[in-house]
Amino acid sequence: MSKASARPLTPQYRTISQTSASQKALPLSLKTSGTSANAGENKSKILRMLMFGKPGAGKGTLSARLVKKYEILSLSTGDLLRQHIAERTEVGRMAEEIVATGGLLPDDIMLKVVTSKLDMLHNKHWILDGFPRTLGQGKLLDDHLKTRGTPLSLVVNLDVADEVILSRISDRWVHLPSGRVYNLSYNPPKVPGLDDATGEPLTKRPDDNPEIFARRLEKFYASTSPLLAYYKTEASRTTRIASLSGSTSDEIWPQLEGLVRTSFPNLKERAETREQRLRHSLSDAVISRSEHDSLTKY
């Protein structure tokens, strides 16, 4: 996409700083909101996390990296809903009827879908994906978790500039069968236009265009910005609110990992991750020793 085609976005759409509700939402910092917890409390804290960001900001990529490296459960609202429908639960039958007619699920039904799982995870670290999306949903979830004694412990906002995301989605190509995503700017396929693993053609997602992105961005400002403002003003001493900035997921990842490791020191790496790191360390040590031995021969 040419720069000219991207230019109309600037005058057409509000930036976060131009949105009254979001003015309260985005001056977030890495400091803990409310009274800071002492070291003993910090060690026992459980990660119960929400991640927000504009469409294309990298929420899915960064959540996946956390889940892959650490013992964290990723809970997708869509997956939970499909499970309820498949298992013919009471809430699943109610949801199926509404979905079949093309309607939107009421907030109370969505809350039941989500909390039916969350209520079983008292001592588990988790990230919730897809809920809440509106201020009303956020208040319902917040109230429910607090009554169960399992309040949110971390809310993260990914602050990525509009123009960066537009450029990112313009350069994005996907292998639809596998879901593998490529970006011509920083993660191009080995052979232009073809998937690295299968050699099959890559395609553009239907919503990867400026017009649809602009509509999704407006929806974000209308619904998510007030929700972020709510968490900023209503956060208790148990909930940490943070905003992480960057142009790519690779830039934001060290900030996110550092925040999580500092705030939740009892969070464990997955066994396979530790084993891989150990193998790499041993391999590096062997290489270093071999290089040293060959140098000392002369």
Tell me if the pTM is above 0.75: no
Contact between 50 and 64 (Cβ < 8 Å): no
Domain coordinates of the chain in residue numbers? 3-72+125-270
- Asked whether residue 56 is marked as a ligand-binding residue, the answer is yes
- Asked whether residue 264 is marked as a ligand-binding residue, the answer is no
| Residue 284 banded pLDDT, cuts 50, 70, 90 | low
- Asked whether residue 57 is marked as a ligand-binding residue, the answer is yes
Q: Is the pLDDT of residue 223 over 60?
A: yes
Q: Is the pLDDT of residue 107 over 70?
A: yes
Residue 168 burial (C-beta neighbours within 10 Å; 0-12, 13-18, 19+): buried
- Asked whether residue 92 is marked as a ligand-binding residue, the answer is no
pLDDT tens for residues 53-100?
998 898 988 999 999 999 999 999 988 999 999 999 999 999 999 988
- Asked whether residue 172 is marked as a ligand-binding residue, the answer is yes
pLDDT tens for residues 20-50?
333 333 333 334 444 344 444 555 699 999 9
- Asked whether residue 133 is marked as a ligand-binding residue, the answer is yes
Q: Which residues contact 126 (CB under 8 A, 6 or more apart)?
A: 47, 48, 49, 72, 73, 74, 75, 118
- Asked whether residue 216 is marked as a ligand-binding residue, the answer is yes
- Asked whether residue 199 is marked as a ligand-binding residue, the answer is no
pLDDT on residue 69: 96
CATH code of the region 3-72+125-270? 3.40.50.300
Q: Is the pLDDT of residue 131 over 70?
A: yes
- Asked whether residue 179 is marked as a ligand-binding residue, the answer is no
- Asked whether residue 181 is marked as a ligand-binding residue, the answer is yes
Q: Is the pLDDT of residue 195 over 70?
A: yes
Task: Determine which of 8-12, 86-90, 207-211 has the lowest per-residue pLDDT on average.
Answer: 8-12
- Asked whether residue 60 is marked as a ligand-binding residue, the answer is yes
- Asked whether residue 58 is marked as a ligand-binding residue, the answer is yes
- Asked whether residue 130 is marked as a ligand-binding residue, the answer is yes
Q: Which residue has the higher pLDDT, 145 or 288?
A: 145
